[in-house]
Structures are given as C-alpha cells and as structure tokens.
Amino acid sequence: MSVPTQPRAEAVPAAPAPAPAAVGRRMLGVMLLLTALGAALVLTAVGRVWAEGRVAGSAAGTLEVSATGSRISELPGGLALVALAAAVAVFAVRGVGRVGVGVLTLLSGLGAAATAAAGAGDSAALHAEAARKLALSGAQATGIGHTAWPWVALLGGLLLALAGLLTVRYGRGWPTMGSRYDAPTRKAPAKAAETPADLWKALDRGEDPTAG
C-alpha cells in the first residue's frame, strides 16, 4: 500500500533587486530635489525679518526697527547659491570630481545652517538699524524679539548638507552629459599619395590623385 505524498510547495522566485543604474538615477533625483528645496528655504528666509524691536529718543517718539536675515549675515544666502551651482556642476564632472562637488555642497549646507543658527539670537544688526534711524552711533534697540525665520534657513542648510552627502555616496554612478555636448571633432583628411607609384596606381583606377 503506497503512502500518498504531499505536493511540494513551489518556491516563489524572489523579486529582482533594483539595478544600480536605477538606484543611481533615483538618488540623483532626490539630490536635486533636496538642493532645490534647501536653497529655496534659505533664500526665502534671509529676505524675511529675523529680529525686531523699538528705539526711543526721536521727536516722533518710539520707532519700530527690524533686521532681515541678509542684513544680519550674508553668508547663508551666499552659501545656498554655491550649493545650487554645485548641483549644476554635477552634470559636468565625473569620478573624483563628483566627490569634490558633493563635499562642497555638504560644507555649504553646514555653513548656511551654522550661520543661520548664530544669527537667530543676534541683535547687533538691530542696534545698527536703530543707530541709523536716529543718526546716533550709540542708539540701542529695546524690546527685542526674534522670529522663526532663522530656523527655516537652518533647515534649508541641513537639506543642502544632505544633498551633498548623497552626491558623495552615489555621485560616481550618476549619468553625465551626453556626447552631443562634447566639442565637435574634425575628420582627418584622406591620406594623399606620397610616391609616384601611388600616383600611377590611382590613375590606373580612374581616380584623380590631385582631387580633394
């Protein structure tokens, strides 16, 4: 008497791993998105008011004074522009050059974040604005308050730094500009006959050795 055998379960084939090229293109898209978003946050934030207060002593009484991020420090906005330029340069370089571009983006993002954090509690620019409005070098602003815009710039700087890290890690495998962007090359002219025998052979073939 034969014992019935249980049917064996068929092995389910494992899903194929994504190709390295596909992963590279995906990371390239993420890097570009992070760069664009980070730079937009920084450049928007530096144009907004970071500190505000009041100054007394004028004939009109108390004046409101404020200082934007770019007046407090020009570094965050400048470093964000450097990071944007580096993102464009990714397509023009390859290999070790990509790593260098990634390091530049990383340092630019960290620098923008650090200077934004330093400017979050800075009041020197506000005092300078108070002195300018009153035309008094010793004027000081009072009732000083700080907005959240420096922290928006800090977030943008961190996004730029993350884009730089992705470039360092995956940049070597990203596509470059196609050959159509290379400088055009001129075809070498046909080799001319150099001996009398070559001339006679060309004439026998019905060719004009002096042409072209």
Q: What is the pLDDT of residue 190?
A: 46
Chain-centre distance for alpha carbon 34: 8
- Please provide residue 186's backbone torsions phi and psi, each rounded to the nearest 5 degrees: -95, 135
Query: Could you tell me if 42 and 156 are in contact, meaning their C-beta atoms sit under 8 angstroms apart?
Result: yes
Q: At 196, list the tokens.
A: 């009398």
pLDDT at position 140 over 70: yes
How crowded is residue 121: how many other Cβ atoms within 10 Å of its Cβ? 11
How far apart, in Å, do the first and last CA atoms of the chain sit?
Answer: 94
Query: Could you tell me if 147 and 121 are in contact, meaning their C-beta atoms sit under 8 angstroms apart?
Result: no
Q: What domains can you pick out in the chain, each with its CATH number?
A: 22-174 (1.20.140)
Residue 4 DSSP symbol: P
Least confident segment among 95-109, 113-127, 188-202: 188-202
59-80 pLDDT, tens per residue? 657 778 888 899 889 999 999 9
Specify the higher pLDDT residue, 80 or 129: 80
pTM for the full predicted model: 0.70
